[in-house]
Amino acid sequence: MMEKNPAIDATVPKHKAQAREIWTAEMLMQAINACDIKLLKVAFHLCFAATLRLGELLGLTWDCMDISEEAISENRAYIIVNKEVERVSRKRSIRRCIIRGQSAGR
């Protein structure tokens, strides 16, 4: 049996942040045109038009839809912890995304 945990003296490597690639409109259209799944196309449009984050997109349900104002209100943010979906507890993590006019299909 070991008397001391050998990992105690280990040095944790520093995290190197990587810049994210920002899609252009052309890249988005190429992805949408390459997609055969209609629901996935809608997800692409929603993410782009309303700048939804992945957790916001996954948290959308029909009761989030505000058709009368041409808006989709996402007031449920979720995070994934150990493969379990959990509700975000901080109010500042919740935001409202509105889609108007041409983005809403008009």
Q: How confident is the model at residue 94 (pLDDT cuts 50, 70, 90)?
A: low
The predicted pLDDT at position 69 comes to 46
Average pLDDT over residues 64-68: 61
Decide: pTM greater than 0.85.
no
Residues in contact with 80: Cβ distance below 8 Å, sequence separation at least 6, in sequence order = 55, 86
Q: Is residue 64 predicted with pLDDT exceeding 50?
A: yes
